[in-house]
Structure 1
């Protein structure tokens, strides 16, 4: 988890938008401004051109000015590098009017260095360094000072020598120094002990968010191509997005970069300075894909002499290692390719395709790139690429190759087959916008009923991921009525998808349609037995009666979970339905996991999801993963495997942002907030205010709405805001007390009951509990039985509370849900203590504290600790009291060490040396009453 909010830097006063994907770097820089006297007070920001160094300096300057810090800045210019003290003069120009505060000899040295004194003798270096140090110390007495110098690699050496000297001497002054330099290593002469912050590529999620922030950013396959080409380089994301604006189609070649006149202008000087032979070589390198070996490029180029690359290496444009050539800046690659004429680019692709021993996949892409108009030979080669990619689970490559093959096809039948394959692969890969584009292309060339039905399934799944559940379900209903599927595979795919959409929407009218759709699929399967199956390019993984039987079990559970989940689970786990390894096995695993989720069998659910997830990762089948993520996280949270849940949330959010799975992103955001509330860490007033939450209709995404409401309710509980907690939990049920979401809402009944008890709304909650009991029927799941007993003990005036508490705790199956059991124990202990039965209460509270410690549930631990004290248990002083004896900096160090950070990692965050961190920890141990680092976590946990 991230650091507590109070430990972070103050970002108030920032008027502009923070750099996307650089939040950690901004935090580190702002910490140095917040505490300018804490060493190290100087920081060097390193990164390639376009990685955002200058933007980070501007953020620091804006923040400093907002805090009445004096800002002095300079910019290195290559043309001024030969001029002595040019950068120093630029930096100090705003404060030259304060030179009168300096001794005369120092004042004269500065004026001489800057050429404003009549004395022509060069100033003595020692005096000049002392003069700058004195001047900055004088200024810092009035207010803190921030010095920023950008592109120090282009500053003159005299200036930087003085600034490096001064930086070492200003350790006890309110002066912060930020340097920025291009490259991956500090410039020559930089102090070896200067703290360094390296700007690497943006994460995949951050790059996608940056692309989304650009006006007119591409969507679908063009978006995915752009993100892969940009390689996380911020400026490349921005410029390639500008270049792609207005493009009718993505570029044809497999890795061919986009271009624009702006990119050409930005790179013209650096490329034009190279020898003609090197420019030609870069054209071949740019046309090659990222995975082609250097020997292949040089064979196409017609040379084996590596000297041709030397000028480009010296200019920092490329790197050559491990037999491959890499452009250090994706924009240089784009410019190197497109600055040549189209005829030359076509010839380059011909030459690369003709290299002896060329990889068949690369050859196919180069043939396609060199082709103008329909070409069956090139299309067939791409189709072969797609066949191999599909077998290896590389759906992005398969969809891309088939889409290009379709455009090169001369005949409608071939185009239709290839578009259907592309649509299937894109749906498996999980990019909704790309699916939508391919659906539009396919429906222009065919009206075949079964193809239309399969295509509609792909589009419907895409619409659901985009949060449009009503439109997605209506599309399935329409095709089932007007162009019903002829094959059993398509019919079962349709009803399984409809079941998933109905679960997400939570709308009763959707669930009511499932029996008819299932009956249609069963009839299609019976009919198909009497005839040969027709040609079908969709859903090959659904071949076999065992796979269809697994889907039938899943759909029947979706129709009536309480009544059908147990029998469906028995069918799915019988040996005869265990499918051998292959695509059918994945379907069975996902169906079994989903039914176990409905049936509240968490161990089986988690294991089946884990196995399915391994296969999905291997196959790059992100589209299928999108449908399982929320349920998988739900399950991991319920059984106390919170670290796994957190990892899955972060990984899932990355995919959701890249592929714009709107409703999946919202689900995972809500589950992430739920996890933070359960941990009792980083808890603040919960508000879901992002663009998705403002634009998406929650009424047709009730599963998402239910997860959001629970997250808000748990957060309010952790903050002690019981009115808000009750309001959020109450919203999980409608005015007539029916559940907002038929599956998720009832599982919050005990949390609603406790919030109702705290605000005196027991009767209202009791009505809802009666409704939940009625809907669960005579044989609810074990989990629901325990939750309803827990709720009854809290709010049912007609029941015996102790009887229900014992029923909620006596069943050993309750250990499967450790947090829910711990909460029931806590509430039982409170009830016991208030009836003057402290010994029994202590037994329950001890078990609660053990569970909270194991789960790292700080809020629960604090409640248990408080109740133990109230029940007469003498205890060590609360850690909050002991922490209060520490300085603010020592408290920060203790919290970071308790979270597992090393002394070096703590030092990097707080700008302290590892030795200083160790000294602080050594001094605080006696104050906290502990003897080792391992006890810090317990100190903070017991405090909550």
Structure 2
């Protein structure tokens, strides 16, 4: 048996011997093997444990078994030095797949090449690659590999992965269900991994029990006994690596030096001391070679070997091997454990460490980013030249979508900047990049450091704006609003532009929270900020977002001018679109969004404030597939960045569409998810949207008492709207449920109170909804004028679902008055609209009413779409437009295999056998006729 064993009784290093004993980890090994070998197991498993608990050795066992069974293994190993380099981990994973990357669809291939700094230089409008495109490319690659053989992705020491790689890998990981792909990860206790913290099963490596610990000691070449064994067991605390290394130290020639005394030192310090003690007496050439190896990262190593800086086959390594510090396989040389590397590096004199980094920097002149970090590590103090190198590194990282890497580089550049003012500027720049990671704590740390270094008003204001930009997207609405408003008030005169930026964010928070006192505070501060022609658009934004129905006519009249001014700035078009949506100018909002996306293919890496308006506008306009696509994107971006509020906003929109489409289970799950992610008292807008969706689900199921209960919760006890914008569109739905469960009087009180609150500021859409609600709640003989008023304005055609509902209400009333001939036209129009939208519960209701009106409702084959789930129908429609499985997957954030599976299950339901039949199926004159 080899004298060097790890905590599993297996040989230390990446490839344990197959015949080595295995101690105390059989259950964990079995769990990992089941994950790899069983298609029904969790596709992603996180192995969690402290240093020396045996994570890497467990993975090595699993890898060996997987490779023996014919699986393709892709792997990456995290290192602290590479965590600053954008996409470095992903490059490790995909390095063996260059041919497969070349075969990706153009957009995905370009995104990957751009992220890795290879391929053609992208056009200016695409300077920042879409992170979801990169994640989709990873998913496509893994899915394609899985078509040929099982795939195992091994991600060791993931706590040291760069953020950009984690985002791409977590995107793929969330979609591995049903794929022959397993992802196994390791991380330390308490480590936060962006994108992997939720819904990923964690297998925690606990300390070995006393029996297992003793068995492991028995297997050592010189098994300790007596007091020494007792002392080792007590100090190791069940940590396998500690047991092995303490036993080794206790039996060394100088046992007193090798075994630390009992004390409060952390276990990692004990182990580092053990490894550091083994450096004593090593030849100088060996010590220097070890330090070079410790100072470099995995990509530096081959360069150092090829340049002769590091001779892995030289005699210098033999003493290090004999001391149990490194393991050498051919030209591959590795430390036996990360703690060995740490010990070697930190025990070296500062001057020696500087020399090692300078030698590596000299070697890496053609790799400026790695060179910059080595130069920074060699800096004993401020250095303007190195600070500038790191700033250039940040620019390159940002251009490749590596915002976390850019922020880290700028933060280190700030530490090295000789001038405090330059340091403050770099910290503000770092905060602007860190915003896109979603890590508010980090952004606030950077802005606080900037404030400590400067009194320059413009920099202080910029720091406040950067922190506020991200804070708006979090759940801390009350705290964030106070901070934004207080800072805006303080800067109102001295820095009016920054103050207005902060107030714009405060207005968004006001929308989310729905708190009326915040609106009054915003108005007061806005009055203190001097007016300027260049800020007119931003002032309008603040007023519209915080109170769209106060002066609606004035705001609507400004929209054409704002659209004209924004035509050359696609990102500004979305701002105008959001304002148009808030004002119930939905057609204009959709036109603005369409124009923006046509000219701005690559969207931002974070959801913008009120970004949910895009999806809501598409819902209202009857473009439900596009609404769901927008929701899918926001949910993915929000989950990746850890922004629960953004996820909740999109989930409520998706839930309402699913409810209208008749997928009650999925709709309820989405709405419930949104409610669990937010505090309903802090985020009234999301709570209202979720209740609207749950009310729609219950109504579709005929549970009108439940529907009324849900919808009643979006109005206060005395009938006022809980939210100044989100509550009003539910008035007609409330009336429908009230009539069917005997709550007519209560609902009438609410409708009339809301009508009085809006007075003359109601939009045509809201006037129609109020008229519809009044018609439903009125005595039958008084209902007709209200029901017809709900359909009177031609502009209401732009809200097709709401118009179809009003048409059905009128038709039902007419039929009950025995005016059947009059009822047939609105019935026919309503049914056609519901069919076009795929609103299945409403289709059934309209068909029943049509039959009761004596109409002959004939269904043709295409009505088989009703048998599909909403997602299957969405995929079918995209396939009918000629999109490939990969293109559909890219659009809906699914793997090509998942798309193929949906199509395979859908074809029999549609009565077709080939993809070519889809276009004719969906282009049929009618999916059912009414005669």
TM-score category of the 2 structures, normalised to the smaller one: 0.5 to 0.7
C-alpha displacement of 1:567: 2.4
Q: Helix, strand or coil: the match of 1:698?
A: coil
What is residue 549 of structure 2 aligned with on the other side? Answer: 562
- The correspondence for 1:608, drawn from 589, 592, 596, is 592
TM-score (normalizing by structure 2): 0.61
What is residue 302 of structure 1 aligned with on the other side? Answer: 307
* Residues 657-666 or 690-699, more deviating: 690-699
Q: Helix, strand or coil: the match of 1:836?
A: coil
2:415 equivalent to 1:439: no
Distance 1:459 1:720, change over 3 A: same
2:602 equivalent to 1:622: no
What is residue 865 of structure 1 aligned with on the other side? Answer: 847
Q: Helix, strand or coil: the match of 2:681?
A: helix
Distance 1:61 1:633, change over 3 A: closer
Distance 1:233 1:787, change over 3 A: closer
List per-residue Cα deviations over 1:148-207 (Å, max 9, x = no partner).
999475379xxxxxxxxxxxxxxxxxxxxxxxxxx999xxxxxxxx997745769xxxx9
C-alpha displacement of 1:933: 10
* Residues 603-612 or 391-400, more deviating: 391-400
What is residue 706 of structure 1 aligned with on the other side? Answer: 688
Distance 1:279 1:640, change over 3 A: farther
Alignment of 1:195-274 (within 5 A): 198-199=150-151, 227=167, 238-242=185-189
2:511 equivalent to 1:511: no
- The correspondence for 1:596, drawn from 570, 580, 595, is 580
Distance 1:375 1:466, change over 3 A: same
2:545 equivalent to 1:553: no
C-alpha displacement of 1:510: 0.4
Alignment of 1:747-758 (within 5 A): 747-758=729-740
C-alpha displacement of 1:349: 5.6
5+ residue gaps, structure 2, are 1-28, 44-56, 71-95, 100-145, 175-181, 194-235, 246-285, 314-333, 886-894
What is residue 900 of structure 1 aligned with on the other side? Answer: 876
Whole-Å separation in 2 of the counterparts to 1:705 and 1:765? 20
What is residue 807 of structure 1 aligned with on the other side? Answer: 789
- The correspondence for 1:825, drawn from 794, 797, 807, is 807
Whole-Å separation in 2 of the counterparts to 1:932 and 1:688? 30
C-alpha displacement of 1:380: 1.5
Whole-Å separation in 1 of the counterparts to 2:899 and 2:479? 51
Distance 1:613 1:263, change over 3 A: farther
Alignment of 1:47-196 (within 5 A): 54-55=34-35, 57=37, 60=40, 151=65, 154=68
C-alpha displacement of 1:589: 2.4
- The correspondence for 1:414, drawn from 422, 437, 440, is 422
Alpha-carbon contact 2:581-2:613 (below 8 Å) kept: yes
Distance 1:333 1:841, change over 3 A: farther
2:720 equivalent to 1:738: yes
Distance 1:858 1:626, change over 3 A: same
Distance 1:801 1:337, change over 3 A: farther
Distance 1:829 1:230, change over 3 A: closer
Whole-Å separation in 1 of the counterparts to 2:373 and 2:717? 60
Aligned-residue Cα RMSD (Å) equals: 5.7
2:832 equivalent to 1:850: yes
Alignment of 1:492-891 (within 5 A): 492-522=500-530, 545-546=533-534, 548-574=535-561, 578=565, 581=568, 585=569, 588-612=572-596, 618=602, 621-623=604-606, 625-683=607-665, 686=668, 693-694=675-676, 696-797=678-779, 800-876=782-858
Distance 1:403 1:572, change over 3 A: farther
Q: How many pairs were matched up? A: 681
TM-score (normalizing by structure 1): 0.60
C-alpha displacement of 1:872: 1.9
What is residue 78 of structure 2 aligned with on the other side? Answer: none
Whole-Å separation in 2 of the counterparts to 1:915 and 1:824? 38
Whole-Å separation in 2 of the counterparts to 1:556 and 1:463? 20
C-alpha displacement of 1:424: 2.5
Distance 1:471 1:460, change over 3 A: farther
C-alpha displacement of 1:754: 0.9
Whole-Å separation in 2 of the counterparts to 1:897 and 1:837? 37
C-alpha displacement of 1:509: 0.3
Q: Helix, strand or coil: the match of 2:609?
A: helix
Distance 1:754 1:236, change over 3 A: closer
C-alpha displacement of 1:611: 4.7
Whole-Å separation in 2 of the counterparts to 1:228 and 1:348? 33
Whole-Å separation in 2 of the counterparts to 1:366 and 1:907? 41
List per-residue Cα deviations over 1:203-245 (Å, max 9, x = no partner).
xxxx9xx99xx9xx89xx9766755688967998842455957
C-alpha displacement of 1:501: 1.1
